[in-house]
A and B are shown apart, each in its own frame.
Chain A
């Protein structure tokens, strides 16, 4: 009697390990797509780290990377939502320039306080977004056309209000938006101690949140990743956060703009993944008619996605003006294409319904690191453009190849 019993127990345990391995394999497979761009980014960084003889990851350069790409990343966040709903916005570069110009006029020529200028500019961005959203959502003119018109319109208006001139310089507080750093509250000397403390706090918070999520999933009886996998994942992420904060700490600390960016990324990821309106945005892009027949106010949601894009374009314009310390008619030129490229490199679908905020950021960083790396190598802007074009094509081709393989 005993022997067969043992056998079954043995078989059972054998089966369960097999199942576990299977889920692990499945997990890797299902995460492959979302991680493939991260892996690509890491590889590109390593490549340029080697080619530039270690300059790329130097504290000064990392800080520069963040400052240089912040305005594109801000645009990419908004653009991702636009692309998920199945639209496109070609006007963001012009809108950024227009808002930057207005900021210059208000602060430099009319001495309006910085906080009021920022507020006015963001409201203006919202109004511009509402203007374009109206035509796209309610009149049903294709976004490509509406925003192409917007691109011309706002570029033209920028030149009109600037009368072809640049306006400079801005007050110091305004410049600090994109060139300031968080102060070191602990006076760590050559090492920016506060940065390390913030890094540590973020790590702890991250682990706590992941732990809570895992426990709640367990409570509902869902399958969770095996403990060692979870542990390794946490360790890797904490290591990345700490190394990153150490690098920042050895230079000037945390740039103000990084805080703004982090807040945007967290907020928008949350909205996209976890909220009702996020679901509605994905649903509209996935199948507008089905969304409408599910009671989703498709026009209203589309309209607000464009309003949001307008606000972020305005923010991007402010950040760029602050970094340049000038409002110029040429500002924001080709920003829209960088932002759109970031989204598609980051896994968005040209047909809508697919894409993540994280993807847009990764895509933006791929572009940013390449810009930066190639500049460090002394490659001309001509070659940079050409290479970036090929990378965009390669990234999307790889994505489509992957999808076909899965189907």
Chain B
């Protein structure tokens, strides 16, 4: 019996121009949950890609020992055969196929190419029971929420007789309940002897489930901590990740709040596909100059839908209500009018809705207001370079030049590009939807600083976040949403996690309506 199920020794992975991994060591004990922490770009995902064979043997230096045996994976199939299964941050399920079909995709229960559906469904049922998902195997994956989809992914991993499960940011898209559920499931599997590696930015989750932690920074192993033996606190982990003490995770600021500049009145939005369903129900809110206003709520509470419907009716049907700015009603009936009226919406989905990944940084930054650097519809590229270089320097976007394609950047730097893009448009109101999702602690701090600068410059900020500490740490005033309605308004001094959570879970039924 070997104490370590996995040993990665001296892994070095070179990309053209960058050393992504530099002599990294990782040892995972049999039957433990091992957390892998590090800032974005620290090399966590690269390391896992080396492990799973996405980067085949020969493209990196160093060796991998699984159960004491040297492994030379040529592709993912080979690592999966040994029971190393990775669940990626972006789920790889096919929405138009059923749960059962997804689980056994590429691993079909078949004889001579003919699928045995009875066996498929029977086994799926067993797997779903194991992960505690109460759905029919026939249900299409597209009809499930993200939380349940995550469970399907885990069931899929189990179907491959997984020995070492790797989860890349498993709870990034989940709400508190689903996250809790998932973590408990992991602990349950651990009791049954499954080893796991979990990559997460959420330090409280790591503290809850992990037995040991390996911290990476700039492609190097910094340290491995044992949760039982070492005195491990969140601050301790953060120090390892960023290489410095972040005594305060949120920059300090003295708010200079002025008059009301932005108001939403009687805002009601219906579902784009099922118009009889109200997604946003009679919402009122206001933002004052220099104020950071938060919107808290669980997933599905309608926060993004509210933001996008305000921003040029980008979401929903049968929208009614009024938007006021500086005491006058404004027209936001399409996106260009919203932008012209000084509203900006920084999307939660920077890759899908925010960036044009194949274009370079400068073109992304100037896209929403090309007029500013154009003369009679002709773009002045020299001006464009100057402007985008200014953002690159100001926000410390880590890239050799603004001619770099957006897809080549790490998550935190991509987020800075999206922010630059909207700051370039010179709005008065910025709606920030999950501005720090999936980015590391260091970059988060920088983003918070940028948000503060914007507020201090007299702009009104509406900030949506699923992380309550972030809402509490950043916002002057917080609206809480539940089921498309605003269930409460809390000022900073009175806000606590418990209070917000109570309002977030306040449903119509409990009110007895």
- A115 proximal to B (CB < 8 A): no
Residue in A286, A295, A353, A354 whose beta carbon sits within 8 Å of that of B336 in the complex: A295
Pairwise interchain contact B379-A276, C-beta atoms closer than 8 A: yes
CA distance A276 to B356 in the complex (A): 16
Q: Is A36 an interface residue (CB 8 A)?
A: no
- The verdict on A217 contacting chain B, using a C-beta distance below 8 Å, is yes
**Taking chain A's interface residues, is the majority helix, strand, or loop, or is none over half, making it mixed?**
helix
Please report which residues of chain A, range 274-317, place their CB below 8 angstroms from some CB of chain B when the two chains form the complex: 274-280, 282-283, 286-287, 289-297
In the complex, what distance in Å separates the CA atom of A292 from the CA atom of B347?
Answer: 12
A186 interface hit (Cβ, 8 Å): no
Is B199 part of the binding interface, using a Cβ–Cβ cutoff of 8 Å?
no
Most interface-central of A274, A275, A291, A295 (chain B CB within 10 A): A295
Contact A354 B358 (CB under 8 A): yes
Q: Select from chain A the residue with minimum beta-carbon distance to B382.
A: A220
For residue B339, which residues in chain A have a CB less than 8 angstroms away from its CB? 294-295
Tell yes or no: B421 within 8 A of A by CB.
yes
With contacts A220-B382, A279-B367, A283-B359 taken as known, whether A293 is within 8 angstroms of B377 at the C-beta atoms is no
Considering the complex, give the chain B residue whose CB is closest to the CB of A217: B382
The answer to whether the Cβ of B321 comes within 8 Å of any Cβ in the partner chain is no
How many residues of A are counted as interface, with CB atoms below 8 angstroms from the partner's CB atoms? 26
Q: Are B379 and A286 in contact (CB under 8 A)?
A: no
Q: A153 to B421: give the CA distance in the assembly, Å.
A: 44
- Give the A-B pair count, Cβ closer than 8 A: 84
Considering the complex, which residues of chain B in the window 315-335 have a beta carbon less than 8 Å from any beta carbon of chain A?
A: 334-335
Determine if A293 and B354 form an interchain contact, defined as CB atoms under 8 angstroms apart: yes
Q: Classify chain B's interface size.
A: 20 to 34
Question: 1/0 contact trace for B124-147 toward A, CB 8 Å?
Answer: 000000000000000000000000
Contact B356 A291 (CB under 8 A): yes
- Tell me whether A293 and B382 are in contact in the complex, defined as CB-CB below 8 angstroms, given that A276-B374, A287-B357, A353-B358 are known contacts: no
**Does the CB pair A293–B353 fall under 8 Å?**
yes
How far is the CB of B187 from the nearest CB of chain A, in Å?
38
Whether A275 contacts B367 by the Cβ 8 Å rule is no
> Are B354 and A275 touching (Cβ within 8 A)?
no
Are B359 and A282 in touch, CB under 8 angstroms? yes
Contact across chains for B386 and A220 when beta carbons are under 8 A apart: yes
| Residues in chain A near residue B374, CB distance under 8 A | 275-276
Q: Are B359 and A297 in contact (CB under 8 A)?
A: no
| Inter-chain contacts of B355 with A (CB < 8 A) | 287, 290
- Contact status A289-B382, CB under 8 Å: no
Which residues of A sit under 8 angstroms from B369, Cβ to Cβ?
Answer: 295
CB distance from A377 to the nearest CB of B (A): 40
A contact residues around B334 at 8 Å (CB): 297
The residues of B that contact A354 with a CB separation of less than 8 Å are 358
Q: What is the interface of chain B, defined by CB distance below 8 A to chain A?
A: 311-312, 314, 334-336, 338-340, 345, 347, 352-359, 363, 367-371, 374, 377-379, 381-382, 385-386, 421
Query: Can you list 6 A-B pairs, Cβ within 8 angstroms, ordered by A?
Result: A275-B378, A279-B370, A283-B356, A283-B367, A291-B367, A353-B356
Query: Which A positions have Cβ atoms within 8 angstroms of B?
Result: 216-217, 220, 222, 274-280, 282-283, 286-287, 289-297, 353-354
Give me the 10 closest cross-chain CB pairs, A-B, nearest first: A286-B356, A295-B336, A294-B368, A295-B339, A287-B356, A295-B335, A276-B370, A294-B367, A220-B382, A276-B377
